[in-house]
C-alpha cells in the first residue's frame, strides 16, 4: 500500500538521524583511538631513559598533530539529540525549491541559447542570400554596362553615317482634291479596286460572278435539286457541293459559301505578294498599267471604286493620283483591318422554299429615288 507523503518525510528523517548517529559513533571511536595513541606515545617517551634532541622534536611534532586531529574531531562532533527535525525538513525544502529554481533558470538559459542559435543561423542565411544578391546585382550591372557601351558605340556609328549622308530634297507635295460626293454617271460601269497589304488589287468582278452563276446552275441541274417547286432548291445538298468549289486569278483567291442557308456568295482574299505597290503604280510601263488592266479603262464609260484597309492608305493616294491624271472619276470607302470583299451570285438564285411575294406599293410620283453617292 502506498504511504502518504508525511510518512515518506518521517522515514527519510529517521534514516538521516540513524546515519548521523553512526557517523558520531565512528567519530567517538576515532577520538578514543586517538587518545589511546597519545597516551601510548607519552608512555613510550617517559619509559625511554635516553632521548636525543631529534627524537624529542619528532615526538613533539607528532603530539601536536595528534592534538590538532583531536580538536578537529571534537569540533565536528555533534550530539544527535541536538538535531532539530523540523529545521532539517525546512532546510531540505528550501534546498529543493532552490534546486527547482536553478533547474528552471538552466532550462530558460538553454532555451535562450537555442533561440540565439536559431537566430544566428537565420542571420547567416540572410547574409548568404544578401551575398548572392550582391553578386547577381554586380553581374547585372556589368551586363548593362556592356550593353550601354555597345549602344553608345552603335550611336556613334549611326551619328557618323548621318553626318556623312548628303541631304536629300524633300518630296514633292501631294495634291489632294477636295471631296465632292455625287452619284456615279448614268450608265458608267464600276471598277472595284482593293487596297490591302500596302498594295493595289484590281477586281474583275463580272468574270467571277459569271463563272459562279454557271457553276450554281450546273450543280442544280446535275443533281436535280429543284425537282420539287414547293420546296425549292435543296439548300443542304447545294451547300455541300457549292463549298467545295474555288476560283482565283493573278490577284485573288475566291471562296464559295452560302449565307443564311439561302444565298450563294463569293468571298475574295487578296494574295499577299501579287498586288501592285506604289512604284509599280507610278511606272507607265508596269504590269498594272498595261492595256489588259488599268490601261484599258475608258474614262467615259467607267469609274473607280476603292475599298481601303488601314495599312494601305499610301497606295490608295498614289493610285488615286493616277486615276485623277487619267480623267477617271473615283470614290473610296475606308474599311477595317479584317474586312474582305464579298458579292452575291447573279441570276436570282435562292435556296430553300420560295418566299411569298409581297405586293409592291405603287411609286409616289412626287418622290424620286435618290442615288447613292459613289463619286467623291
Asked if the model's pLDDT at residue 46 lies above 60, the reply is yes
Q: Is the pLDDT of residue 278 over 80?
A: yes
pLDDT of 74: 66
Name residues whose C-beta falls within 8 Å of residue 209's C-beta, 6 or more positions apart in sequence: 266, 343, 345, 346
User: Is the distance from CB of 196 to CB of 270 less than 8 angstroms?
Assistant: yes
> How crowded is residue 312: how many other Cβ atoms within 10 Å of its Cβ?
25
Which grid coordinates belong to 17? 538521524
Q: Taking the domains of the chain in order of start, what are their residue ranges?
A: 7-83, 105-163, 188-354
Upper half-sphere CA count for residue 273 (Cβ side, 13 Å)? 0
pLDDT at 1: 43
Higher per-residue confidence, 283 vs 372: 283
Q: 112 or 176: which carries more pLDDT confidence?
A: 112
Among residues 36, 98, 93, the alpha carbon closest in space to that of 70 is found at 36
pLDDT score of 224 more than 90:
yes
The yes-or-no verdict on residue 5 having pLDDT over 80 is: no
C-alpha cell at 169: 530634297
- Answer whether residue 355 shows pLDDT above 80: yes
Instruction: Report the C-alpha gap between 72 and 94 in whole angstroms.
Output: 29
Residue 51: predicted pLDDT: 58
The predicted pLDDT at position 3 comes to 47
Q: Average pLDDT over the chain, rounded to whole?
A: 84
Least confident span in 36-45, 58-67, 161-170, 314-323: 36-45
SS (H, E, C) the chain: CCCCHHHHHHHHHHHHHHHHHHHHHHHHHHHHHHHHHHHHHHHHHHHCCCCCHHHHHHHHHHHHHHHHHHHHHHHHCCCHHHCCHHHHHHHHHHHHHHHHHHHHHHHHHHHHHHHHHHHHHHHHHHHHHHHHHHHHHHHHHHHHHHHHHHHHHHHHHHHHHHHHCCCCCCCCCCCCCCCCCEECCCCCEEEEEEEECCEEEEECHHHHHHHHHHHHHHHHHHCCCCCCCCCCECHHHHHHHHCCCEEECCCEEEEEEEECCCEEEEEEEECCCCCECHHHHHCCCCCCCCCCCHHHCCCCCEEEEEEECHHHHHHHHHHHHHHHHCCCCEEEEECCCCCCEEEECCCCCCCECCCCCCCCCCCCCCCCCCCCEEEC
The per-residue pLDDT for 340 is 97
The arithmetic mean of pLDDT across residues 201-221, rounded, is: 96
pLDDT one-digit tens code per residue, 12-35: 666 777 777 777 778 777 777 776
Contact 191, 303 (CB under 8 A): yes
Work out the percent of the chain whose per-residue pLDDT is above 70.
81
The x, y and z cell numbers of residue 57, run together, are 622534536
**pLDDT tens per residue, range 98-117:** 888 888 888 988 888 888 88
Span 226-236, pLDDT tens digits: 988 899 999 99
Q: To the nearest whole percent, how much of the chain has pLDDT over 90? A: 42
> pLDDT at residue 337 above 80?
yes
- CB neighbours (10 Å) of residue 217? 13
- 302 vs 327: CA distance, rounded Å: 10
pTM for this entry: 0.53
Q: Are strands 302-308 and 263-270 parallel, antiparallel or unpaired?
A: unpaired
pLDDT at 173: 61
Give the pLDDT score at 67: 81
Q: Are 192 and 205 in contact (CB under 8 A)?
A: yes
Higher pLDDT, 187 or 1: 187
**253 beta partners:** 248, 269
Q: Is the CA virtual torsion 112, 115, 119, 120 positive or negative? A: positive
Does pLDDT of 62 surpass 80?
A: yes
* Tally of CB atoms within 10 A around 345: 24
Q: Is the pLDDT of residue 326 over 50?
A: yes
- 263-270 and 199-203 as β-strands: parallel, antiparallel, unpaired? unpaired
Question: What is the per-residue burial (b if ≥16 Cβ within 10 Å, else e) of 125-149?
Answer: eeeeeeeeeeeeeeeeeeeeeeeee
Amino acid at each position: 500500500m502506498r504511504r502518504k507523503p508525511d510518512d515518506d518525510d518521517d522515514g527519510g528523517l529517521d534514516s538521516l538521524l540513524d546515519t548521523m548517529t553512526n557517523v558520531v559513533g565512528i567519530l567517538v571511536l576515532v577520538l578514543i583511538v586517538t587518545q589511546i595513541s597519545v597516551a601510548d606515545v607519552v608512555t613510550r617517551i617517559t619509559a625511554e631513559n635516553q632521548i636525543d634532541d631529534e627524537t624529542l622534536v619528532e615526538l613533539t611534532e607528532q603530539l601536536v598533530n595528534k592534538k590538532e586531529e583531536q580538536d578537529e574531531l571534537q569540533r565536528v562532533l555533534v550530539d544527535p539529540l541536538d538535531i532539530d527535525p523540523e529545521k532539517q525538513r525546512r532546510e531540505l525544502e528550501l534546498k529543493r525549491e532552490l534546486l527547482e529554481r536553478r533547474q528552471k533558470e538552466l532550462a530558460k538559459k538553454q532555451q535562450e541559447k537555442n533561440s540565439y542559435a536559431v537566430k544566428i543561423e537565420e542571420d547567416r542565411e540572410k547574409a548568404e542570400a544578401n551575398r548572392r544578391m550582391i553578386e547577381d546585382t554586380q553581374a547585372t550591372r556589368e551586363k548593362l554596362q556592356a550593353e550601354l557601351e555597345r549602344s553608345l558605340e552603335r550611336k556613334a556609328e549611326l551619328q557618323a553615317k548621318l553626318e556623312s549622308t548628303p541631304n536629300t530634297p524633300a518630296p514633292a507635295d501631294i495634291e489632294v482634291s477636295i471631296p465632292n460626293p455625287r452619284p456615279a454617271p448614268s450608265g458608267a460601269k464600276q471598277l472595284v479596286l482593293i487596297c490591302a497589304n500596302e498594295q493595289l488589287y484590281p477586281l474583275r468582278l463580272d468574270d467571277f460572278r459569271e463563272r459562279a452563276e454557271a457553276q450554281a446552275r450546273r450543280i442544280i441541274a446535275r443533281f436535280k435539286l429543284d425537282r420539287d417547286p414547293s420546296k425549292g432548291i435543296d439548300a443542304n445538298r447545294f451547300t455541300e457541293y457549292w463549298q467545295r468549289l474555288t476560283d482565283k486569278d493573278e490577284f485573288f483567291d475566291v471562296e464559295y459559301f452560302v449565307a443564311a442557308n439561302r444565298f450563294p456568295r463569293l468571298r475574295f482574299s487578296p494574295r499577299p505578294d501579287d498586288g501592285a505597290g506604289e512604284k509599280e503604280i507610278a511606272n507607265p510601263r508596269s504590269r498594272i498599267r498595261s492595256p489588259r488592266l488599268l490601261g484599258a479603262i475608258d474614262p467615259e464609260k467607267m469609274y473607280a471604286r476603292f475599298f481601303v484597309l488601314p495599312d494601305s492608305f499610301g497606295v490608295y493616294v498614289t493610285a488615286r493620283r493616277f486615276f485623277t491624271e487619267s480623267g477617271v472619276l473615283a470614290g473610296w470607302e475606308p474599311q477595317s483591318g479584317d474586312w474582305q470583299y464579298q458579292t452575291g451570285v447573279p441570276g436570282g438564285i435562292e435556296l430553300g422554299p420560295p418566299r411569298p411575294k409581297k405586293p409592291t406599293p405603287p411609286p409616289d410620283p412626287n418622290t424620286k429615288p435618290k442615288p447613292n453617292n459613289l463619286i467623291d
